[in-house]
Structure formats: structure tokens, C-alpha cells
């Protein structure tokens, strides 16, 4: 339904290409991260904490709500945020 406010259990309604940055947050809070090329992924969560996911395999979909993907500590590529 157009204009409906989806819940977190609902499928994503949009996507954005992510370029990791240590200074620029994402334009939207995302509810999932797709990793197209394997490596490490360092993110900032909505609660302000950070974490690094090590050895994320190609094609992995991480169901995490983040506001930033950091360049420092991130070596994976082709990152897509789902919102």
C-alpha cells in the first residue's frame, strides 16, 4: 500500500548504494545491509554503538539497523543499504 508506514518485520521498500565514510552518515537509517563483495564491515548502529563484522561472505544480507558504514575497518565492497 502506497504511503503506509511499514514495520521492521516488513520487507524493505527501498535501497541505496553505500560508500563507506568515516565522516558522513547515511542519508537514511537502513534496516539491512547487503554485502556484494566479501570482507570486514564496520558500522554505526542507531543506538550510537559501533561494531565490526569480520569476514562477511559475498552475498550476505545482515538484518541490522545502522546510520553509518565506516571506511576505517571496512574492506567489503558493493554494499547496499535496505530501508
pLDDT in tens, the chain (83 residues): 456 677 878 899 999 999 999 999 999 999 999 999 999 999 999 999 999 999 999 999 999 999 999 999 999 999 999 99
Per-residue model confidence (pLDDT) at position 63: 96
pTM, rounded to two decimals: 0.90
Per-residue model confidence (pLDDT) at position 42: 98
CA distance 2 to 55: 38
Under 8 Å between Cβ of 48 and 27: no
Helix, strand, or coil here: 70?
strand
Per-residue model confidence (pLDDT) at position 64: 97
Under 8 Å between Cβ of 44 and 25: yes
Under 8 Å between Cβ of 45 and 26: no
Per-residue model confidence (pLDDT) at position 33: 98
Amino acid at each position: 500500500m502506497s504511503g503506509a508506514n511499514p514495520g521492521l518485520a516488513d520487507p524493505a521498500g527501498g535501497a541505496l548504494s553505500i560508500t563507506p565514510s568515516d565522516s558522513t552518515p547515511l542519508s537514511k537509517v537502513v534496516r539491512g545491509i547487503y554485502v556484494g563483495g566479501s570482507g570486514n564491515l564496520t558500522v554505526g548502529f542507531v543506538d550510537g554503538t559501533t561494531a565490526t563484522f569480520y569476514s562477511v561472505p559475498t552475498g550476505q544480507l545482515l538484518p541490522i539497523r545502522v546510520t553509518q558504514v565506516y571506511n576505517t575497518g571496512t574492506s567489503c565492497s558493493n554494499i547496499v543499504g535496505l530501508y
